Structure 1
């Protein structure tokens, strides 16, 4: 079956989301992105920065003759390849690399500089990268998971409570994000206050999985949001944070455990997080997919 390229359009949002869900169903493992990253980038990251329209121009789609997606290229610092197969046709991979290189060239005024994280089990894609002059950086990214096969204890110190997304004002949640990632009194903070509520418009948003730890003053001091993929019965964490002055109190563990228990009630078997940290390892997460970072710099032919 022939595969043809076309540019991404705003109305393709749900089509790509469906493709990410179907890819996981078929491969039984993440490829590069899950629904959380797709929706977080669209509904918060690029919306907040005012660059959504420009970002959409850096998304490429490849379709089968029947209109179903075969592959997607997305930009988020690096270029991420999402394919319907673990080892897709070489011609398709060549076109995906060429698309990423063209977009990088446009960004840099004729000079190509980019990186592409490739899952270790996508050996054919790695070989195409090598042939095109890419080199391994030694850097790695990961997708990590935890099986939800038990009840998780929720232990909060006195003076704190856990609230769902529909119980907390958006401004309080935005301030929680600002304090957790330490960017108060910046332009970025002002934009977060304006746009944080837009995440509730994401297709996979569930207010019962948008959880906040609130202190007696009504401040959000720890939080997690879990995007819910009901087709695959998996949850994906994005974002997670605890305010600097409230760390080492067990608040992050408590809010995540509450989220895990709520996922179990929905029938979830597994929860994912994108970047491994010691905190997640202590919670029991293990790396399911390693992505090797391939880099290219120079001029294309």
Structure 2
């Protein structure tokens, strides 16, 4: 095992995640490469999350076989190639997570939270042996929805007075940023809004494509709903992150319209499968309305240290 050493490692980890996606039959049993990028360019650069220097890499004969990375305080994610999955390696990675990624939680207790696929019984056995307990609350489960694009994407009507299109070069940034703030922080006072400069980091991510940064605008040309789509032409899969609608404009079909437009554009690019994850019943319901089906579920396990 070794720690991340620089940009060559980042490129290698991206390649590894692509290999794992293909080896797992296009299932999200490890991260999509776009999620790694989004964690780096948004989670770390914009939100103060632990950076790429906290990635740990396991190799065999010069090839990556597994990766450990954080996302959010106390949270650890294990990415393993299916050809190298074994309890000994998993246990070793848990030990590193406990030593390197544990932190004080909101409950004031030092802990580490590890995410594991709900069907990975072998990993669950190792987690139990090392003193982990599964957190059995809906908000700490990630439902991984997916939609195959072998069939045509049906048309969806856009409510009168609204238009669905992709982002413009610069003019849309203030409106897009404000809509994001209202969608994800609806109870926050407006003085907490930090402007739109953060979106430059989003657009610097390797897979960013302005044609896949979909928005819905109202008659005043203000953005009221959005979804950013990340297409990886190596695996021919796509990842929707984030998806949101201003609270004053929800339940109008705008989120579904944005998702559908993203799917339509992916279909033209030759995408085979699209992914979007959700934690809440309303979010999962939205994705279902756009043709996504619930598939794998990632669950969280915690250990107090």
TM range, normalised to the smaller chain? 0.7 to 0.9
What residue in structure 2 maps to residue 291 of structure 1? 298
Taking the aligned partners of 1:113 and 1:128, their CA distance within structure 2 comes to: 17
Taking the aligned partners of 2:245 and 2:299, their CA distance within structure 1 comes to: 29
What residue in structure 2 maps to residue 159 of structure 1? 161
- Cα deviation for residue 186 of structure 1 reads 4.4
1:185 aligned onto 2:199: no
TM-align CA RMSD: 2.1
What residue in structure 1 maps to residue 100 of structure 2? 103
Q: State the SS of the aligned residue for 2:54.
A: coil
* Contact 2:34–2:232 (8 Å) recurs in 1: no
Of 211, 216, 239, the residue aligned with 1:213 is 216
Output one character per residue of 1:18-45: Cα deviation in whole Å (capped at 9) or x when no partner.
2111110111111132123211111112
What residue in structure 1 maps to residue 60 of structure 2? 64
1:279 aligned onto 2:286: yes
In 2 relative to 1, CA 59–186 (structure 1 residues): closer, same or farther, beyond 3 Å?
farther
Output one character per residue of 1:244-285: Cα deviation in whole Å (capped at 9) or x when no partner.
111121111111111111000011122111115221123232
What residue in structure 2 maps to residue 16 of structure 1? 13
Q: State the SS of the aligned residue for 1:143.
A: strand
Q: State the SS of the aligned residue for 1:249.
A: coil
Taking the aligned partners of 2:11 and 2:154, their CA distance within structure 1 comes to: 33
Structure 1 runs (4+) greater than 4 angstroms displaced: none
* Contact 1:117–1:141 (8 Å) recurs in 2: no
- Cα deviation for residue 220 of structure 1 reads 0.8
- After TM superposition, the structure 1 stretch with the greater mean CA deviation from structure 2, 242-251 or 151-160, is 151-160
Taking the aligned partners of 2:302 and 2:96, their CA distance within structure 1 comes to: 15
Q: State the SS of the aligned residue for 1:274.
A: strand
- After TM superposition, the structure 1 stretch with the greater mean CA deviation from structure 2, 85-94 or 207-216, is 85-94
Unmatched runs of 5 consecutive residues or more in structure 2: none
TM-score by length of 1: 0.87
* Contact 1:27–1:86 (8 Å) recurs in 2: no
Unmatched runs of 5 consecutive residues or more in structure 1: none
* Contact 2:259–2:290 (8 Å) recurs in 1: no
In 2 relative to 1, CA 287–174 (structure 1 residues): closer, same or farther, beyond 3 Å?
same
- After TM superposition, the structure 1 stretch with the greater mean CA deviation from structure 2, 126-135 or 260-269, is 126-135
Taking the aligned partners of 1:186 and 1:46, their CA distance within structure 2 comes to: 23
* Contact 1:87–1:122 (8 Å) recurs in 2: no
1:116 aligned onto 2:103: no
1:41 aligned onto 2:39: yes
- Cα deviation for residue 217 of structure 1 reads 1.6
- Cα deviation for residue 112 of structure 1 reads 4.3
- Cα deviation for residue 87 of structure 1 reads 6.2
Taking the aligned partners of 1:241 and 1:86, their CA distance within structure 2 comes to: 37
* Contact 1:87–1:124 (8 Å) recurs in 2: no
What residue in structure 2 maps to residue 172 of structure 1? 175
Taking the aligned partners of 1:154 and 1:278, their CA distance within structure 2 comes to: 16
TM-score by length of 2: 0.86
* Contact 2:131–2:303 (8 Å) recurs in 1: yes
* Contact 1:79–1:114 (8 Å) recurs in 2: yes
* Contact 1:135–1:295 (8 Å) recurs in 2: yes
